[in-house]
Amino acid sequence: MASHNPAIHLQDIILGGQDGLVNVLGISLGVFASTGDVQFVIVSGLAAMFAESISMGACAYTSTKAAVHYEVKDAKDAGFTKKEAEKILAKSDLAGQKLAFAKRRLTSHLEDGGSMGPLTKGAKVWISTMLGSAIPLAPYFFINDVALAAGVSIAVSGIVLFGTGALKAKMTVGDWKGSGAEMLLVGALAAIAGYVIGSILKVGAV
């Protein structure tokens, strides 16, 4: 059963997108600092993009499948059907949104697909990771100067990370500036780590 809860979609998109962006940003800067060769950066970035997206999608699929199996077992162990659960909730004195939330949570355990099908979730995380990975890598395809491309990659990635964090806060709760800065900090740490390691292990282009 597909989920109609926007929070779940937002979680999956941020999970995949942020992971892909931060991972490829760190790797591309590490290779840039180590070799100074744009072709090396592109090859390593593409390898990271496909490997990471497949890994993330597969992990989302297997973990969701395990959760669905647990939910189905949990519902069967409870000993009542979906209709019985809805009947209990119909008599509840919970108000408005609380009742709707309780109903979604309880009856989702009684569906054979859980809150979201494993294939749907896996595909969503996979695509989000691919798109996120493409952001820091794209400048190297269009800018010949590798140092300039690295600078543009950092700037664009920073803007996207901050914007994503701010949007997350706007759609949920919290201060948009703090949320944006938090996500930006994660990207900055990855970028610094990649660059420092690449600088230490400098090999030179061949």
Tens of pLDDT along the chain (206 residues)?
445 556 667 778 888 899 999 999 999 999 999 999 999 999 999 999 999 999 999 988 888 778 766 666 665 666 656 666 556 555 555 555 455 555 555 555 545 444 457 888 888 899 999 999 999 999 999 999 999 999 999 999 999 999 998 888 887 777 889 989 999 999 999 999 999 999 998 875 44
Q: Give the per-residue pLDDT at 13.
A: 85
- Are 158 and 187 in contact by the 8 Å Cβ rule? The answer is yes
Helix 82-90 with 96-108: angle, nearest 10 deg:
170
Instruction: Report the candidate in 18, 29, 8, 10 with the shortest Cα–Cα distance to residue 52.
Output: 18
What does pTM read for this prediction?
Answer: 0.74
Contacts of 26 (CB under 8 A, 6+ apart): 190, 191, 193, 194
Q: Sign (positive/negative) of CA torsion 168, 170, 174, 177? A: positive
Q: What is the pLDDT of residue 115?
A: 47
Tokens 């989920």 belong to 3
Q: Where along the chain do its domains lie?
A: 6-75+117-200
pLDDT the model gives residue 73: 66
> pLDDT at position 66, please?
80
